[in-house]
Amino acid sequence: MNTPFRAHGHGHVDRDTTLSFTFDGITHTGHPGDTLASALLANGVHRVAGSIKYGRPRGVLAAGAEEPNALVQIEAPFPEPMLTATTVELYDGLVARGLSGQGRLSSRPDPARYDTMHAHCDLLVVGAGPAGLATTLAAARAGARVILIDELPRPGGSLLGGQELLDGAPATVWADGVVAELDAHADVQVLRRTTAFGHYDDGLVLALEKRTDHLGATAPAHISRQRVWRIRAKQVVYATGAYERPVAFDNNDRPGIMLAGSARTYLNRFGVLPGRRAVVFTTNDSAYPAALELADAGIRIAAVIDAREEVPEHWRAACHERGIGIRAGHVVTGTSGVERVTRAHVAAFGRGRLGERQGIGCDLLLVSGGWNPAVALFSQARGALRYDTGIGAFVPAHALDGVRTAGSASGTFTLAGALADGVDAARRALSAIGRTCRTTALPSPAPLPDAAPAHVLWRVPSPQDDQDGAKQFVDLQRDALVSDVLRATGAGLRSVEHVKRYTTIGTAHDQGRTSGVMTSGIVAEALGVDVADLGTTRSRPPALPVAFAALAGRNRGELFDPIRVTALHPWHVEHGARFEDVGQWKRPWYYPRADETMDEAVLRECRAARTGVAMMDGSTLGKINVQGPDAGVLLDRLYTNMMSTLKVGRIRYGVMCGVDGMAIDDGTVIRVAEREFLLTTTTGNAAKVLAWMEEWLQTEWPDLRVHLTSVTEHWVTIPLVGPRSRDVLALVAPGLDVGKDAFPFMSWRDATVAGVAARVCRISFSGELAYEINVPAWDGITVWKALHTAGGAFGITPYGTETMHVLRAEKAYPIIGQDTDGTVTPQDLGMSWVVSKKKPDFVGKRSFTRAENRRGDRKQLVGLLPADERVLLPEGAQIIATSEIPAPPVPMLGHITSSYRSDALRRTFALALVRSGTQRIGETLYVPLDGRTVPVTVTEPVLFDKEGTRRDG
């Protein structure tokens, strides 16, 4: 099936294959190699969408990533918001619609996969146009490791859109030959459909490869849809080409108004005629090849309007040959038409004045206001830009050590120049990393006369007297006008950044590729300053919009953050545990039986621990092995209490403080040998404590002979708790004397437990008789099961973190991070006993004597008993002094840090940090709750077994 606007004998699309797609509800056809834009134009569809602010019809301005107008929403195979029709490769079954500003996200989950690749190279070349191909070829022949990336499916860049000859053959033949040679190099990688979007430090370039987008619904599910490449390059050459810019005139936004070079691309790359009768408006030579090639392909060129007084003779002659009239010293002042341009208004323009206007009928108005080198990535790399008055654009001022540009990205716009510049860039880049690059023979383009100077023209004066009435668009996507720019300067704005924010120019997803320099030019004219002094707005990553999902890559779901589980985890799952996230760990929270609520389960688990025997998985506790002759010295400096005096075989509880004197962690320290300690940390702080200790050891006391090793995951740790724990342990460790005196509190023994070599500690986090059995993680499940079996006769009960919290709270053992918040000292916790008076210094000690720490009315940890013993106070609730809640701000005395139902106390209770808490013991305070207050009695924090009679069984 043919379409009315296909040009025979032109284009690189595969006409043997027909693709069907739907746009705005109408089904059309196209071919592989088309973009959505080229396929629409081939079908004569020019109106793509309405504009965002004024709702005006808009068409296709450009043929690539600079497109500001032709925004589309993809609806099928999966919705994707706001793409440019000029960069969507056509596929069968594509459903899209034109977009007026706001895209739509799918409410369904995206089924596609995304991933990331790392790559390293000597030289990264971005852009496979003539300059980039020349660079890559020269570097490849020099044996360098090169990566060439290009956004198109087929290398060639601008060569695909022109009709240049190289050595007498179409230039694309040369490009294909180069690519074939590059593909044969083992150290050269050519990435197609890949766009560089970010340049970061040390040669890190981010690029997005679209791997399956062009396959539509037939994309294989196992291949990632898009891939982010993280390329670390010693040298980078940006051969990114240039973007043509328009000129502002009245109603310069209608469908059918197109950049001249883009029209040329539609003809030559896609075999599409973007109209039947064209007017060409230019300020420079580059529109002439477009006019001539389009004329040769059958488009009637009604006139070439050249703003310059002088038009080079060879262009005059070539136009004359084809019957094309040239109007030098003329401009387009405006257009007619609604859904499509129907007429260009033309007038002579000299010395700032417009002559008589005349209309020329057309359905296509091609515009060239000159070319802006594509320097966004070079600018991201912090390459300095220089304003080139000759071309009216910003060009790289000079290469950086590892980053340079080549070809038209450098402002070199001729084909011969681009090729030579490309080879030169390769030579310089390789030289910078100590490699040589031999001369590469280059093909010769057809000789071209010297280009005539361009006329730098930002806007054509509006023939309408009232400036506000004229619609001269600067940023088509943002619907921002010349009059908006002038209003901004009139409002007092002097910086282009301010003008950008006032007008929103350049904030749309094309980042002002066609509007940025024009804005600087218009602002400079309005303020009477040089564009060079004014500068332009800053390029920011990403250079093209990148899907969130592509950036997230594989780091989603369970790969978002590692899940850590203990060696006993499968047992907990089998036995119905509910889990709590503690840091990255999954910890059993409680083990509900059939119909139990959480409260019921926890009360049952508590009862077992207080009256029989219970066991838990404590393996997540951080464990740090401290070895060396000075191990004791290090621990003395980091813990508030003395550790060096601990005897081998004994255990001590310890608290660490920050330099500010606030408690940061606690745990037990056991002395394994004269020169070896093993300490435990809280689950969440294990890594932080190790890092803290390493920092002091390495940076402050490197003379200490100590080694620190994390052994958290080497051990399975099983607290065995309750009055019957001794009986159970005796059953599984027959060789261990578990007698009270033989194995006293706060000591440890090596023993064989369930046939496994174990270290058994007699410590308790519940106040009950308890043992902590440590075995190599590999044997953990054996020992756990043996304990569970042996304890069966005593009703042994596995318990989770919730029960652990209740048991310890009944004994007022604080949880760092729950009962503390980084503002609490050991003294505030009522633990002055853990703060050494003998040691001359330890980390945090000096801060204890600061003014704020000496205040008597600090917040201190106390117990709270609600008057109504059934009321469970919410953790986090605040505490006030009065039974009535006064008007805000209400003076608050503190807050509840822990609150539980206690089986042992047969009532609810809480721990709280209360201002002057220890002096308030016995007082009644109030907890505001849902607009009323709950009276509570302040108590000593320890509420159960104050005498500590239970720990020996």
Partner 1 sequence: MQLIACPWCGEREENEFHYGGQAHVAYPQDPYALDDEQWAEYVFFRDNTKGPFAERWVHAAGCRRWFNALRDTVTHEFLAVYDVRAKHPPTTSAAPAAPRRKDQEASR
Partner 2 sequence: MTLPRDNAPARPSPATTLNRAPHPDAGPGDALPDHPDFLWRNPEPKRSYDVVIVGGGGHGLATAYYLAKNHGITNVAVLEKGWLAGGNMARNTTIIRSNYLWDESSGIYEHSLKLWETLEEDLDYPILFSQRGVLNLAHSLQDIRDSKRRVHANQLNGIDAEWLEPDEVAKVCPIVNVSPDVRYPVLGATYQPRAGIAKHDYVAWGFARRADVYGIDLIQDCEVTGLDIQGGRIRGVRTTRGPIAAGKVALAGAGHSSVLASMAGLRLPLQSHPLQALVSELLEPVHPTVVMSNAVHVYVSQAHKGELVMGAGIDSYNGYGQRGAFHILERQMAAALELFPVFARAHMLRTWAGIVDVTPDASPIVGLTPVEDLYLNCGWGTGGFKATPGVGWCYAHTIATGQPHPYNAPFTLDRFTTGALVDEHGAAAVAH
Touching partner 1, residues 673-702 (CB under 8 A): 691, 694-695, 698-700, 702
Q: How far apart are CA 138 and CA 120, in angstroms?
A: 19
- Binds 541, which of partner 1, partner 2, none (CB < 5 to 8 A, cut-off by type)? partner 2
Segment 751-770, which members bind partner 2 (CB under 8 A)? none
- Nearest CB to partner 1, comparing residues 647 and 846: 846
| Least distance from partner 1 to the Cβ atom of residue 641, Å | 18
How far apart are CB 538 and partner 1 at their closest, in Å?
5
* 885 forms part of the interface with partner 2 (CB under 8 A): yes
Radius of gyration (C-alpha) of the chain in whole angstroms? 38
Supply the minimum distance, in Å, between the C-beta of residue 210 and partner 1: 23
Q: Is 526 in the site for partner 2 (CB under 8 A)?
A: yes
- The interface mask with partner 1, positions 223-262, x = CB under 8 A, is ---------x------------------------------
Instruction: Find the binding residues for partner 1 in span 359-418 (CB under 8 A).
Output: 379, 382-385, 400-401
Residue 338 to residues 173, 328, 364, 497: CA-CA distances in angstroms? 42, 28, 13, 33
Distance CA 6, CA 39 (A): 9
Task: Indicate the residue among 199 and 859 with the shorter CB distance to partner 1.
Answer: 199
Residue 38 contact, options partner 2, partner 1, none, Cβ 5-8 Å cut-off depending on partner type: none
Asked if 507 is part of the footprint of partner 2 (rule: CB under 8 A), the reply reads yes
Between 276 and 688, CB nearer to partner 2 = 688
Q: How far is the CB of 69 from partner 2 (least distance, A)?
A: 13
Q: What is the rounded distance in angstroms from the CA atom of residue 245 to the CA atom of residue 471?
A: 18
Q: Which stretch binds partner 2 (CB under 8 A): 155-163, 405-413, 578-586, 728-736?
A: 578-586
Question: Which of 555, 698, 832, 883 lies at the binding interface for partner 2 (CB under 8 A)?
Answer: 555
Find the binding residues for partner 2 in span 78-117 (CB under 8 A).
78-82, 100-107, 109-110
Closer to partner 2 by CB, 660 or 869: give it.
660
Binds 846, which of partner 1, partner 2, none (CB < 5 to 8 A, cut-off by type)?
A: partner 1
Angle subtended at Cα 340 by Cα 337 and Cα 342, rounded to the nearest 5 degrees: 50
Binding partner 2 by CB under 8 A: which of 528, 735, 840, 922?
Answer: 528
The entry of partner 1, partner 2, none near residue 9 (CB within 5 to 8 angstroms by kind) is: none
- Binding part of the chain for partner 2, among 48-56, 169-177, 294-302, 779-787 by CB under 8 A, reads 48-56
Phi, psi of 810 (to 5 degrees): -60, -25
Considering the rule CB under 8 A, would residue 853 count as an interface residue with partner 2?
Answer: yes
Element (H, E) at 780: helix 780-790
How many binding residues for partner 1 (CB under 8 A)?
A: 36
- Cβ at position 659, least distance to partner 1 in Å: 5
Q: Does 868 bind partner 1 (CB under 8 A)?
A: no
948: left (phi over 0), alpha (psi -120 to 50) or beta: left
**Cα distance between residue 168 and residue 147, in whole Å:** 29
Q: Which one of partner 1, partner 2, none interacts with residue 853, CB within 5 to 8 A by kind?
A: partner 2
Of 397, 892, 932, 946, which lies in the binding site for partner 2, with binding defined by CB under 8 A? 892
* Residue entry with tokens 């080079």: 312
529 in contact with partner 1 (CB under 8 A): no
User: Quick one: DSSP state of residue 70?
Assistant: -
Is there binding between residue 883 and partner 1 (CB under 8 A)?
no
Give the bridge partners for 798, in sequence order: 615
Of 384, 433, 563, 793, the one binding partner 2 by CB under 8 A: 563
- 312 upstream amide cis, omega within 30 of 0: no
Residues of span 57-86 touching partner 1 by CB under 8 A: none
Nearest to 796 by CA among 805, 813, 784, 781: 784
How is residue 887 annotated by DSSP? Answer: S
The full DSSP string for 632-689 is HHHHHHHBSS--TTPPTTBEEEEEEE-TTS-EEEEEEEEEEETTEEEEEE-GGGHHHH
Residue 699, contacted partner among partner 1, partner 2, none, CB below 5-8 A by kind: partner 1
Q: Which does 841 bind (CB under 5 to 8 A by kind): partner 2, partner 1, none?
A: partner 1
Nearest C-alpha neighbor of 241 from the set 107, 65, 41: 65
Of the candidates 344, 476, 506, which has an alpha carbon nearest to the alpha carbon of residue 70? 476
- CB 586 within 8 Å of CB 569: yes
Out of 212, 539, 640, 797, point to the residue binding partner 1 (CB under 8 A): 539
Which does residue 501 touch among partner 2, partner 1, none (CB within 5 to 8 A, set by kind)? partner 2
Contact between 13 and 66 (Cβ < 8 Å): no
When the beta carbons of 607 and 845 are compared against partner 1, the nearer one is: 845
Q: Which is nearer to partner 2, 279 or 910 (CB)?
A: 910
- Asked if 141 interacts with partner 2 (CB under 8 A), we say no
Q: Which does residue 546 bind out of partner 1, partner 2, none, counting CB within 5 to 8 angstroms by kind? A: partner 2
For residue 395, the Cα-to-chain-centroid distance in whole angstroms is: 30
In this structure, are residues 303 and 360 in contact, taking their beta carbons and an 8 Å threshold?
yes
Residues in 855-884 at the binding interface with partner 2, rule: CB under 8 A: 874-878, 880
- A 10 A CB-CB count for 867 gives 11
Distance from C-alpha of 207 to C-alpha of 193, rounded to nearest angstrom? 10
* Dihedral sign, Cα of residue 9, residue 12, residue 17, residue 20: negative
Residue 576 is a binding residue for partner 2 (CB under 8 A):
no
Residues 660-689 close enough to bind partner 2 by CB under 8 A:
660-661
Question: Binding to partner 2 by residue 527, rule CB under 8 A?
Answer: yes
CA distance 130 to 170: 13
- Nearer to partner 1 among residue 638 and residue 670 (C-beta): 638
Q: Is 434 in the site for partner 1 (CB under 8 A)?
A: no
Binding-site partner at residue 78 among partner 2, partner 1, none, CB < 5 to 8 Å by type: partner 2
535 binds partner 2 per the rule CB under 8 A: no
Query: Judged by CB under 8 A, does residue 463 bind partner 2?
Result: no
- Binds 817: which of partner 2, partner 1, none (CB < 5-8 Å by kind): partner 2
**Binding to partner 2 (CB under 8 A): which residues in 793-832?**
817-818, 821-823
For 813-817, the CB contacts below 8 A with 24+ separation are 813/765, 814/666, 814/861, 814/911, 815/682, 815/898, 816/663, 816/664, 816/665, 816/666, 816/682, 816/685, 817/682, 817/684, 817/685
Select from 479, 636, 768, 772 the one that contacts partner 2 (CB under 8 A): 479
Residue indicated by tokens 């006019």: 291
Q: Which of 495, 645, 698, 709 binds partner 2 (CB under 8 A)?
A: 495
Q: Is the dihedral of CA 192, 198, 204, 208 positive or negative?
A: negative
Asked whether the bond before 77 is cis by omega within 30 degrees of 0, the reply is yes
The CB density around residue 350, as the number of other CB atoms within 10 Å, is 12
Q: Contact between 440 and partner 1 (CB under 8 A)? A: no
Show the site string, 481-500: x = touches partner 1 by CB under 8 A, - = not.
--------------xxx---
Asked whether the beta carbons of 430 and 135 are under 8 A apart, the reply is: no
Tokens of 878: 């605040």
536 near partner 1, judged by CB under 8 A: yes
* Three-class secondary structure assignment of 174-206: HHHHHHHHHHHCCCEEEECCEEEEEEEHHHEEE
Q: Which among 310-318, 327-335, 422-430, 497-505 is the span making contact with partner 2, rule CB under 8 A?
A: 497-505
Sole residue written with tokens 């895209």: 103
Interacting residues with partner 1 (CB under 8 A): 200-202, 204, 232, 379, 382-385, 400-401, 495-497, 535-539, 659-660, 691, 694-695, 698-700, 702, 841, 845-847, 849-851
